[in-house]
């Protein structure tokens, strides 16, 4: 069935982005996996080619194009080439962090930060998760107590994507520790802030090329001018951005499953056993048929959610569903693909093994899938 989501302008963009990835990213991916981090210069190169923060207004050097289908193309191409190390950091910068600045930053803040975000000079991260708090954002313990024209920030964050590379961290803090959700605010902590230190580059099961770090704040002095929006409204701001974040994760998951299936079809056509190619066996063809059906059916829902998002009517429940289904499907499909690769599927030198390891986290971040089920279930019986 022919997909109708993308138009000619998206396909032209795809070719340009694919060329960039093939020339400047793919040749170095394994090297960056070993190093545990993508060089900052790659973000600058992406910015130079116009691949960062496209929705940013032209007055801040952006393209002013608020069309999530361009982001969807980037997800597809990044996973087609097996580049999640760079891809997760880039899509976090574009899909997750940028909306906070577009929606809640003042004109002065936009002028100060957006041009650097568009160019790749300023890399962003978001600091929500803490050592003792994951999906329960109301339970965060990091505090920001106002003292004159500064906030004094104390606490710690963990599992922070772009944690080492980030120049700007959108930090969830308690400006009123006596409250739960109503006490949360968002402040932007800049590289070089006194009292802000980075811990380990955490060793993960997958996504080895993506820096994921601990962040520590000890009497860190952050200017009040770095408050995003209003005090006490941070939880609402985060909830308001979760639909796009979960849609972004859904695109990563679907694209990963689709690419894994494509690699597997190519592999079974070539690999021989018992005098036949693996593709000659009925069990192989049936497994591929199940996987293709899952990917294609899921893709139709994903496309509809993307169009709904661009119209402005993707609901919280739909975003939870698409994140839940795509990530669970990704796990099932990639597991089948690993099995069809046999022993080679378990070797990290193969793209399918790396994709399989990388995939496990998608059921955890942006809200664990147990939380997604609760969101959908509550809406059904409310």
Per the structure block, which two tokens stand in for 286?
A: 């049936």
Query: What whole-number distance in Å separates Cα of residue 85 and Cα of residue 31?
Result: 11
Closest CA to 217 of 288, 302, 151: 151
Any catalytic annotation for residue 245? yes
Query: What whole-number distance in Å separates Cα of residue 205 and Cα of residue 159?
Result: 13
Query: What whole-number distance in Å separates Cα of residue 65 and Cα of residue 75?
Result: 17
Residue of 130, 231, 245, 294 with catalytic role: 245
Query: What whole-number distance in Å separates Cα of residue 66 and Cα of residue 192?
Result: 32
Query: What whole-number distance in Å separates Cα of residue 153 and Cα of residue 201?
Result: 22
Please calculate the CA angle 110-111-112 and round it to the nearest 5 degrees.
Answer: 90
**Three-state SS at 229:** coil
Inter-residue contact 363 to 250 (CB < 8 Å): no
Which residues have a catalytic role annotated?
A: 245
């Amino acid at each position: 069935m022919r997909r109708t989501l993308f138009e000619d302008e998206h396909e032209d963009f795809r070719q340009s982005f694919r060329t960039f990835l093939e020339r400047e990213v793919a040749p170095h991916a394994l090297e960056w996996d070993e190093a545990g981090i993508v060089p900052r210069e790659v973000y600058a190169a992406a910015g130079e080619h116009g691949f960062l923060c496209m929705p940013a207004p032209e007055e801040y050097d952006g393209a002013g194009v608020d069309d999530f289908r361009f982001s969807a193309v980037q997800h597809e191409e990044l996973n087609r080439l097996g580049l999640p190390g760079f891809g997760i950091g880039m899509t976090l910068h574009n899909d997750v962090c940028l909306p906070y600045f577009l929606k809640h930053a003042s004109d002065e803040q936009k002028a100060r930060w957006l041009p650097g975000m568009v160019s790749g000079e300023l890399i962003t991260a978001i600091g929500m998760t803490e050592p003792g708090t994951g999906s329960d954002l109301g339970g965060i313990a990091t505090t920001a107590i106002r003292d004159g024209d500064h906030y004094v920030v104390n606490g710690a964050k963990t599992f922070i994507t772009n944690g080492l590379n980030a120049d700007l961290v959108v930090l969830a803090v308690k400006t009123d520790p006596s409250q739960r959700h109503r006490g949360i605010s968002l402040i932007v902590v800049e590289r070089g802030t006194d009292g802000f230190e980075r811990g380990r580059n955490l060793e993960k099961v997958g996504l080895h090329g993506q820096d994921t770090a601990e962040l520590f704040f000890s009497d860190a002095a952050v200017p009040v001018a770095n408050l995003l929006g209003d005090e006490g409204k941070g939880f609402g701001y985060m909830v308001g951005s979760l639909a796009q974040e979960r849609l972004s994760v859904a695109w990563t998951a679907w694209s990963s499953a689709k690419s894994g299936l494509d690699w597997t079809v190519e592999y079974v056509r070539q690999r021989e056993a018992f005098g036949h190619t693996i593709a000659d066996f009925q069990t192989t063809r049936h497994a591929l048929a199940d996987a293709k059906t899952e990917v294609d059916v899921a893709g139709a829902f994903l496309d509809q959610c993307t169009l709904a998002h661009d119209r402005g009517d993707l609901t919280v429940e739909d975003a939870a569903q698409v994140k839940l289904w795509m990530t669970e499907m990704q796990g099932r499909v990639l597991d089948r693909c690993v099995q069809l690769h046999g022993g080679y599927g378990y070797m990290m030198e193969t793209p399918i093994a790396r994709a399989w390891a990388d995939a496990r986290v998608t059921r955890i971040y942006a809200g664990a899938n147990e939380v997604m089920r609760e969101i959908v279930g509550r809406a059904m019986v409310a």
